Amino acid sequence: MPGSGGDALRVMGQGANAIAAYRQALALGGNADMIRYSLAALGAEPSPTLSPQHCIVGLFDMYAETFDRDLVDKLNYQSPRLLAQLIARSVPADARLDILDIGCGTGLMGEGLRALKRTLTGVDLSPNMLEQARRRGIYDRLIESDIVAFLETQADQFDVTVSTDVFIYIGDLAGIFAGVRRALRSDGLFCFSVEAVDDGDFVLRPTLRYAHSIAYLTRLAEQNSLVVATIEPHAVRREAQRCRLQHRHAVFFLRQAVTPNPSP
Ligand X SMILES: C[S@@+](CC[C@H](N)C(=O)[O-])C[C@H]1O[C@@H](n2cnc3c(N)ncnc32)[C@H](O)[C@@H]1O
Binding site for ligand X (CB under 6 A): 56, 60, 79-80, 103-105, 108-109, 123-126, 129, 146-147, 164-166, 169-170
DSSP string over 94-144: T--EEEEEET-TTSHHHHHTGGGEEEEEEEES-HHHHHHHHHHT--SEEEE
Measured from each CB, the residue nearest to ligand X is 105
Q: Do residues 253 and 90 make contact, with C-beta atoms less than 8 angstroms apart? A: yes
**Nearer Cβ to ligand X (111/201):** 111
**Nearer Cβ to ligand X (31/164):** 164
The least CB distance from residue 18 to ligand X, in Å, is 23
The least CB distance from residue 247 to ligand X, in Å, is 14
**Which is it for the CA torsion 128, 134, 139, 143, positive or negative?**
positive
The least CB distance from residue 179 to ligand X, in Å, is 11
Helices 53-63/32-41 angle, 10° precision: 90
Q: Do residues 103 and 257 make contact, with C-beta atoms less than 8 angstroms apart? A: no
The least CB distance from residue 24 to ligand X, in Å, is 29
Q: What is the CA radius of gyration of the chain?
A: 18
**Nearer Cβ to ligand X (79/121):** 79
Cα angle 5, 10, 15 (rounded to 5 degrees) comes to 110
Q: How many Cβ atoms sit within 10 Å of the Cβ of residue 84?
A: 22
Burial code (b: 16+ CB inside 10 Å, e: under 16) for 50-60 equals bbbeebbbbbb
The burial class, CB within 10 Å (0-12 / 13-18 / 19+), for 61 is middle
**Nearer Cβ to ligand X (80/188):** 80
**Nearer Cβ to ligand X (21/204):** 204
**Nearer Cβ to ligand X (6/103):** 103
The least CB distance from residue 206 to ligand X, in Å, is 18
The least CB distance from residue 223 to ligand X, in Å, is 20
